[in-house]
Amino acid sequence: MTPRFQFKIDATDGAARTGVIAMRRGEIRTPAFMPVGTAATVKAMKPDSVRATGADILLGNTYHLMLRPGAERVARLGGLHRFMNWPRSILTDSGGYQVMSLASLRKLTEEGVSFSSHIDGSKHLLTPERSMEIQRLLGSDIVMAFDECPRTDRPFAEIEASMEMSMRWARRSRDAFDAGGEHADNAALFGIQQGALDEGLRARSAGALREIGFDGYAIGGLAVGEGQEAMFATLDFAPGQLPHDAPRYLMGVGKPDDLVGAVLRGVDMFDCVLPTRSGRNGQAFTWAGPVNLRNARHAEDAEPLDPRCSCEVCGRYSRAYLHHLIKAGEMLGAMLLTEHNLSFYQELMQAMRSAIAEGRMTAFASAFLAEYGAKG
């Protein structure tokens, strides 16, 4: 029988790990990149096309889906997988980050967060219990605990108080998830480590999460403006504070060089809107670094976008044609660049999985970063 949730590490190379998460809707190869399906769609992509890029799992946004079309409606229509025609695993975030970053007139209390919708101004209250209920109604496979994500530049006392409240919310999330009947029997729950850039606070957060017990553990509170150097400095200690035998998920990250640096430091899972958002804005990611297809120098370039990429876009279309589509505002341009970017991200993840398995992750990272033009 397929397990509810099982994580197996197949190989390690330094802090880097490669393995497989087994769940009822299929296996998730790690390190894994999850394309973001904010409103039950990965923008500019069909679900089967997303799968064809190599994605094993998608991310859905609790905040956006609770507001439109509504979690209860999705449940009546058979759940998120049927609603969006994605039969494989879905991870849903808790909604906490979006409430803090998007909602207006929000008020934070021990109970939760009351806020006004950014869509129509309607009033809502999101608590750990309600977040678990929404994710249960959506039918998500990996549920995220409800937390608060303060900026890393806030005063220490404020970050400490926020972390402690997030840990109390983590306990409430665990209790509410476990009361979810059949959904709890089939899904997994991840806790979220907080503490900004402070090693001591993150150690306390990790200890609280370990005591509660989760299937996986996310590293939250990064990629919120602190910069890559500060993020990597935090990742030098944060993953090791979490259980070795559970997946570690770095939320909201990132650029290709961010992914490589984080995998080197022991991270197993990622999500980010960057490959899709950049594709819609004319930017492509390649093994030689980012390319802006709006630049005039591509207007008569008959070469493929990335000769090392095996995706259909690179095999069938020239830089000149992609430049034309972007400059003309044709939607096909956004579609093709999104498909390429998602394919590139998945090829990068597969390359890292192979490098770890073969014991050459450090050499791979050095070579990649040298060609990509980024600092490790």
Residues recognised as catalytic: 93, 271
Cα end-to-end distance, the chain, whole Å: 42
Cα atoms in the Cβ-side hemisphere of radius 13 Å centred on 212? 29
Residue 128 identity (one-letter amino acid): P
CB atoms within 10 A of CB 357: 15
**Burial readout 314-338 (b: 16 or more C-beta within 10 A, e: otherwise):** beebbbebbbebbeeeeeebbbbbb
Cβ proximity of 275 and 285 under 8 Å: yes
Going 280 to 286 to 292 to 296, the CA torsion angle's sign is: negative
Residue 153 identity (one-letter amino acid): D
Residue 37 identity (one-letter amino acid): G
